[in-house]
Amino acid sequence: MGRLICVDAGHGGTALGACGNGLKEKDITLKMALKVGKLLNECGFDVVYTRTKDIYVSLSERCRIANSRKCDAFVSIHDNSTANIVANGIETLCYTKNNLAYYIQ
């Protein structure tokens, strides 16, 4: 595995993401992304963020940031919601089959 990770905080700015219980997904993903990036730094990885504050970043710009820096992995953080009150857990989606998704899960 490479050493440069792009950490993408989902949504941001006018793109609120899921909202409920007084929370906005964009705020939670940003806090999580900054924490994940800090932990990755402490483990010896270099980190590129697609955003570090509450701003809107288009999907194409997120890709441009990661590709221009030739990141070895792109990790996009989301906090999904559902109307199903018994649903819970996490999901990890990956573009290619590799061990990264396994370890995240």
Binding site for Zn ion (CB under 5 A): 10, 17, 78
Q: Return d(Cα 67, Cα 74) in angstroms, integer.
A: 9
Neighbours of 39 (CB within 10 A): 12
Nearer to Zn ion, 51 or 78 (CB): 78
Least gap, CB of 59 to Zn ion (angstroms): 11
Nearer to Zn ion, 17 or 37 (CB): 17
Rounded to a whole number of angstroms, the minimum distance from the CB of residue 1 to Zn ion is 25
Residue 2 beta carbon to Zn ion: minimum distance, rounded to whole angstroms: 25
In this complex, which beta carbon is closest to Zn ion, that of residue 5 or of residue 77? 77
